[in-house]
């Protein structure tokens, strides 16, 4: 089968299209013919391997100290089940599914084997009213946003600030929070303002023209999605009993967040999990009901993975970047 492999850490050009062995499902696994996969900022971080020093060594030991141990990247996928192991009960040959592979990666290939109930990641039947390309953009970002917002129990009329609202997490967070009746202020760059309004943001802030710290009001919930948070400045915008969510905290933010939790009534949450099969079922129901939708900036042919990585790490993508296997699998 064809796969995009990452034989060494570095820029997008290290990625190569190669023939690798097609996997065979174990008794508790399904074999999925992948039709589409997302390309996330996390994929780019792993490829570059530019993690901060305090977590560099443990992550490097997991992914490979001198070169990648896991050479096929990709966390989100959508496809069709081609074969099932004899112990599998939930899925059948021909089922259209979407999945997140978690830290095991492997979605940037024509085929993948996943456990029926994986310890890392999740798998479920995909929404019937969207394409494989759209479905592949849902599991990780949608699952993360769903789990973070569950931690807040946000109520109708409460005020929510989402910083980095135009990316894969943020676009789902805006839509999911809107369903709760919250008043949403979304922060991102100029090119994303119209999109944020269209998916439910009540107010938008262009951080290239106005500092978030100078918004001049307080919020019941702040969801900071960006990879380089300004927590020490933004936490001042939180109400006395508010909740601060950080999807990508650094070590200083972890220390300061712990101190704030111990010395005030404010709640600081660093991680909420990327979703289970039940979470994917919930997202499927919401998508089929027309209540939320995946946002895709661009869909590339599979063989243009290098270009997809360039856009995904540019900081300019709106929503998700996706690669399609259709041209490779007529």
Distance CA(326)–CA(306), nearest Å, equals: 17
Q: Work out the pLDDT band at 227, boundaries 50, 70, 90.
A: low
Express each pLDDT in 152-177 by its tens digit. 988 899 999 999 999 999 999 999 99
- Provide the percentage of residues in the chain whose pLDDT is more than 90: 71
Q: What angle do CA 322, 324, 329 make, to 5 degrees?
A: 165
**96-100 vs 76-84, strand pairing mode:** antiparallel
**Do 106 and 72 contact (CB within 8 A), yes or no?**
yes
Structure tokens at 185: 């202020």
**16-19 vs 2-5, strand pairing mode:** antiparallel
pTM over 0.85: yes
Express each pLDDT in 79-91 by its tens digit. 999 999 999 999 9
Name the DSSP class of 211: -
- Domains in the chain and their CATH numbers? 2-139+294-324 (3.90.180.10), 152-269 (3.40.50.720)
């Amino acid at each position: 089968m064809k796969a995009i492999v990452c034989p060494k850490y570095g820029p997008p050009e290290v990625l190569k299209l190669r023939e690798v062995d097609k996997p065979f499902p174990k008794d508790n696994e399904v074999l999925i013919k992948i039709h589409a996969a997302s390309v996330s900022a996390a994929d780019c971080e792993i490829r570059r391997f530019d993690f901060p020093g305090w977590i560099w060594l443990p992550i490097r030991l997991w992914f490979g100290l001198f070169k990648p141990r896991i050479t096929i990247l990709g966390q989100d996928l959508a496809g069709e089940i081609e074969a099932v192991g004899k112990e599998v009960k939930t899925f059948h040959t021909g089922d259209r599914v979407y999945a997140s592979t978690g830290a095991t990666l492997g979605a940037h290939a024509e085929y993948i084997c996943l456990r029926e109930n994986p310890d890392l990641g999740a798998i479920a039947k995909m929404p019937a009213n969207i394409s494989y390309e759209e479905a592949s953009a849902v599991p990780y970002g949608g699952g993360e946003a769903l789990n973070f917002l569950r931690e807040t129990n946000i109520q109708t009329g409460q005020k929510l600030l989402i910083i980095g609202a135009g990316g894969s997490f943020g676009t789902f967070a805006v839509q999911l929070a809107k369903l709760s009746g919250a008043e949403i202020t979304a922060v991102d760059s100029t090119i994303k303002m119209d999109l944020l309004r269209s998916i439910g943001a009540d107010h938008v802030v262009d951080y290239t023209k106005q500092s978030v710290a100078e918004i001049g009001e307080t919020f019941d919930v702040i969801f900071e999605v960006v990879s380089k948070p300004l927590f020490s400045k933004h936490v001042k915008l939180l109400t006395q009993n508010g909740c601060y969510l950080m999807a990508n905290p650094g070590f200083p933010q972890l220390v300061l967040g712990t101190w704030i939790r111990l010395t005030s009534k404010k709640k600081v949450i660093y991680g909420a999990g990327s979703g289970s099969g039940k979470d994917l079922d919930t997202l499927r129901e919401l998508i089929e009901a027309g209540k939320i939708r995946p946002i895709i900036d661009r869909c590339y042919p599979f063989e243009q993975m290098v270009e997809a990585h360039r856009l995904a790490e540019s900081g300019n993508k709106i929503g998700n970047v996706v690669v399609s296997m259709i041209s490779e699998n007529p």
